[in-house]
Amino acid sequence: MPSPSPPPPTITFPRSPVPSIPARPVQTAAALMIGDEILNGKTQDTNSHHFALRCFELGIELKRIEVIPDDEAEIVEAARRLTADFDFVITSGGIGPTHDDITYPSLARAFNQDLAMNDEVLSRMAQKSMYRKEWLEQQTDEQRTARERMALFPSQAEVLFVTDDLWVPVVRLEGKLCVLPGVPSLFRRLLDNLMESYIPLPAERPFRHMVFTTLPESSIAPFLTELQRRVKGEGVRIGSYPSFQKGVTVSLIGNNEARVRELGEEVCKEIHGTVVVKDA
């Protein structure tokens, strides 16, 4: 009988330094989800919703989410277009060791770069694998080559180590396109650390206020239209979201919390609504 594996040791690494040069705050963002498994229904994409929530909390306007297949031409086209159009772009998926993981080579092509092996990643990967050393020594050359593909990045990329306990870095291209893994637990850890420390954030953050009513949407429509017209100049956005045969949630979003709450009171009175924290 094989002896049980020892628990993996705790290994930590230094994080990448946060750039001290002030950069223009990120205003707009886009997400490029790369994966056949989402398009063929095997996997429900939850990463883009996590990203949407983070963007909202941090005052970044997420303008677009695209889901595309593991296809070089499509990755090249979408990565170039989104990077040209928005301040901050993430990709999710396609960075593992197998044949269907083509995100890094496709992005290298998108931005006319070669691929280069990152020694620091190889070293961290090796340290993290020490506890299964015997097992790894049995890997063939081909299997080792497959592992090392995970350290083969576009040659001019920044390699950001945003956590101290994972060997996976965030690879950043053109100063704005950040490559993240598709596995949700890893995606979230890396994204949250990246956005907290490595992205220049806007000074202001929006406040969302929601009011629920059982009145039909058409009955509240004229009031909401007029209200939106009145508060547009203040940057307040009004949304109206029906739940089938239940009622309507009205959302008010703006940077001035006191003003949004004040408008919320007016909305409550006018549409016989109640303030809700979560969607009906």
DSSP, residue by residue, 111-142: TT--EEE-HHHHHHHHHHTGGGHHHHHT--HH
Q: Which is nearer to its own copies, 15 or 81 (CB)?
A: 81
Q: CA-based Rg of the chain, rounded to a whole angstrom? A: 23
Residue 94 region by backbone torsions, left for phi larger than 0, else alpha for psi between -120 and 50, else beta: left
CA gap 141, 98 in Å, rounded = 15
- 3-class DSSP assignment, residue 170: strand
Instruction: State the burial class of residue 40 (Cβ atoms within 10 Å of its Cβ: 0-12, 13-18, 19+).
Output: exposed
**Measured from the CB of residue 160, what is the shortest distance to its own copies in angstroms?**
20
Q: Which is nearer to its own copies, 22 or 41 (CB)?
A: 41
**Measured from the CB of residue 156, what is the shortest distance to its own copies in angstroms?**
26
User: Within 13 A of 199's CA, how many CA atoms are on the CB side?
Assistant: 28
**Measured from the CB of residue 114, what is the shortest distance to its own copies in angstroms?**
22
- Straight-line distance from the first to the last Cα atom of the chain, in angstroms, rounded to the nearest whole number: 55
* Cβ contact 206:253 at 8 Å: yes
Q: Which is nearer to its own copies, 26 or 238 (CB)?
A: 238
DSSP for residue 149 = G
**Measured from the CB of residue 21, what is the shortest distance to its own copies in angstroms?**
30
Q: How many CB atoms lie within 10 A of CB 78?
A: 23
**Measured from the CB of residue 17, what is the shortest distance to its own copies in angstroms?**
27
**Measured from the CB of residue 198, what is the shortest distance to its own copies in angstroms?**
21
DSSP for residue 67 = E
User: Which residues contact its own copies (rule: CB under 8 A)?
Assistant: 33, 36-46, 48-49, 52-57, 61-69, 74, 96-101, 139-140, 142-147, 150, 183, 185-186, 208, 216-222, 224-225, 228, 237-244, 251, 253, 279
Q: Which is nearer to its own copies, 37 or 158 (CB)?
A: 37
